[in-house]
Amino acid sequence: MMYGGGIEGKKEMAILRPSIQARRANMTVKFQDLYGFAVEGNVDDVNVLNEVREKVRQQGKVWWALEASKGANWYLDLSSSLNFSALVNGITLKKLIRKGIPPNLRPKVWFTLSGAAKKKSTVPDSYYNDLITAVHDKVTPATNQIDHDLPRTFPGHPWLDTGEGHAALRRVLVGYSFRDSDVGYCQGLNYVAALLLLVMKTEEEAFWMLAVLLENVLVNDCYTTNLSGCHVEQRVFKDLLSKKCQRLAAHLEAMEFDVSLVCTEWFLCLFSKSLPSETTLRVWDVLFYEGAKVLFHVALAIFKMNEEELLLTHHVGDVINVIQRSSHHLFDPDELLTVAVAFDKIGFMTSTNITKQRKKQEPAVMAELDQRIRRLNSLNSDDK
């Protein structure tokens, strides 16, 4: 196993084996997942993870067979070609990605299909090293907040929570804060960048993945000071929930439950704090290929999967508990992405439709934020 440098290409994924005593008592067991995170669950969870790892092995064989028959980089030129073969390959690739990219191929596939490789190619090879060198000793509000957040980013992880891990994460976050001063640094990016460091082969590749994510994949202004983009996403999600899960949405509305209580973390951390790591990365597989619409698919799926239990709740705190308990134990990505509801049962949501919804919600969000600023200014004037 390797941390901070991707998953070792030929490394076998260990079968998790709870003790005989744990199996007999069906008690809580602790174990480490593929990316080094400590996981707590029961023996059923262990069995699910073992089944998932076997699926990953089988999926890896499919990818390797395609590379053997079509060539190692068969998926690279699909977007620039309109011939029938490219169309067939494109459909094949979409299905493959939804079933999961093998961990040892994930860095290469992500870096290529997301546009990160193309973005990196537009600047000198020394860009990242020059940037890190130039900003090494600079102190800003962003660097101060980053330093504050480093030890709070996945504490206890065997690589991230070390001096080496903190240093690598700091370089990526500080470097990006100077690349894009409008974003600078926003809490939530530390978790996203940390997970990118665990997946990608190099620190520099993690930096470019963060860049393409913020500049091309996600909605604008999601991480700016007023988080206007994140507020827009929450309003769009609330509207989608009312259309796709009408009974549940009405129940939550009657309870005065605000979806931002759970969705803010989802949209800012891209589920990295809410779902098990292997499930999160399956979501990111689709995110980097199909775009941000998958975040709405997954968010709706989590609510839909818990609909019957949520309809029995009477307090806001109970809703949060149900959602958190469920999401933290979604060890089988297929239950979320394929078998359950994310793509098959939620309904067809195009990126175009979601873009229209965003534009519809933007004026209300900006008016609300403007009103909030005026209220704060008024309070400050009264204090003086």
Q: What is the pLDDT of residue 10?
A: 39
**Residue 173 binned pLDDT confidence (cut-offs 50, 70, 90):** very high
Q: Give the CA distances from residue 329 to residues 18, 21, 332, in Å, rounded to whole numbers and listed in that order.
A: 17, 22, 8
Q: Is the pLDDT of residue 93 over 60?
A: yes
- Residue ranges of the alpha helices (H) in 71-123? 84-99, 106-113, 116-121
Q: Shortest CA distance to 127 belongs to which of 215, 204, 216, 212?
A: 204
Q: What is the pLDDT of residue 90?
A: 74
Q: Is the pLDDT of residue 2 over 90?
A: no
Q: Shortest CA distance to 98 belongs to which of 288, 377, 381?
A: 288
Q: What is the pLDDT of residue 5?
A: 63
Q: Is the pLDDT of residue 244 over 60?
A: yes
Q: How far apart are CA 333 and CA 44, in angstroms?
A: 15
**Cβ neighbours, 10 Å, residue 51:** 13
**Residue 339 binned pLDDT confidence (cut-offs 50, 70, 90):** very low
Q: What is the pLDDT of residue 194?
A: 98
**Cβ neighbours, 10 Å, residue 233:** 29
Q: Which single residue is written with the structure tokens 């509305």?
A: 253
What is the residue-averaged pLDDT of the chain?
86
Helix (H, G, I), strand (E, B) or coil at 39: strand
Q: Is the pLDDT of residue 79 over 60?
A: no
Q: Give the CA distances from residue 359 to residues 145, 336, 355, 366, in Å, rounded to whole numbers and listed in that order.
A: 31, 28, 6, 11
**Cβ neighbours, 10 Å, residue 53:** 19
Residues shown for the chain: 384
User: What are the φ and ψ backbone dihedral angles of 131, each rounded to 5 degrees?
Assistant: -65, -45
Q: How far apart are CA 245 and CA 135, in angstroms?
A: 48
Q: What is the pLDDT of residue 83?
A: 55
Q: Is the pLDDT of residue 46 over 90?
A: no
**Cβ neighbours, 10 Å, residue 190:** 25
Q: Give the CA distances from residue 92 to residues 3, 85, 101, in Å, rounded to whole numbers and listed in that order.
A: 31, 11, 13
E strands, the chain, are: 29-32, 38-41
Is residue 8 classed exposed, middle or buried when 0-12, 13-18 and 19+ CB atoms within 10 A define those classes?
exposed
Q: Give the CA distances from residue 295 to residues 96, 237, 243, 271, 343, in Å, rounded to whole numbers and listed in that order.
A: 19, 9, 17, 9, 11
User: What are the φ and ψ backbone dihedral angles of 192, each rounded to 5 degrees?
Assistant: -65, -50
Question: Two tokens at 210?
Answer: 């963060």
